[in-house]
Amino acid sequence: MRKLNIIGWLSVIVVAVVLAIHFIPVERNVSTVPAGQSFERTEKVPANVAAILKVSCYDCHSNNTRYPWYSELQPGASFMAQHIKEGKEELNFDEFNDYSKRRKKAKIKSIISQIEKDEMPLKSYRMMHGGFNLSTKDKKELLDFFNKLN
């Protein structure tokens, strides 16, 4: 009988902790300026490439994220916030124009390499967005554009 009481209390504690983490505030990545706007203007990004970047890159690599319904649920919200923070630290298209020429070149080389190796968008992003993958055509359009910038 004593074991059931301990298990019961542990269950109550686990449920309480799970409910409590839903009240932990998470910073949202939302800007009044549309994602990638300055990058697209200064780098003269064609409309087809801009559309691909918007769908596959800007959520993690800009100052403006489109949040899906599950981003309100913990611990997913915290995971997503951390993921976005790390993505923006690595590359932020909204701040790309502030990078030095050398850093821009390095980022472009990295973008090309990660597209070629199918490393971006991340598999976790693809899974959470209905198995989204860049098509062969999308990859070619991105690679053609970034190789011209390189």
Q: Is residue 23 part of a domain?
A: no
How many domains, the chain?
A: 1
**pLDDT less than 50: residues of the chain:** 1
Contact, 149 vs 115, CB < 8 A? no
Residue 2 located in a structural domain:
no
The pLDDT value given to residue 70: 75
Enclosing domain of residue 127: 28-149
Is position 15 within any domain?
no
The whole-model pTM stands at: 0.77
Q: From 12, 24, 129, select the one nearest 67 (Cα to Cα).
A: 129
Q: Is residue 12 part of a domain?
A: no
Examine residue 88 and state whether it is found in any structural domain, yes or no. Answer: yes
Alpha-helix residue ranges (DSSP H) falling in 22-122: 37-42, 47-56, 76-90, 101-116
* Domain membership flag for residue 18: no
CB neighbours of residue 121 within 10 Å: 22
**Quick check: is 77 in a domain?**
yes
How far, in Å, CA of 34 to CA of 24, rounded? 27
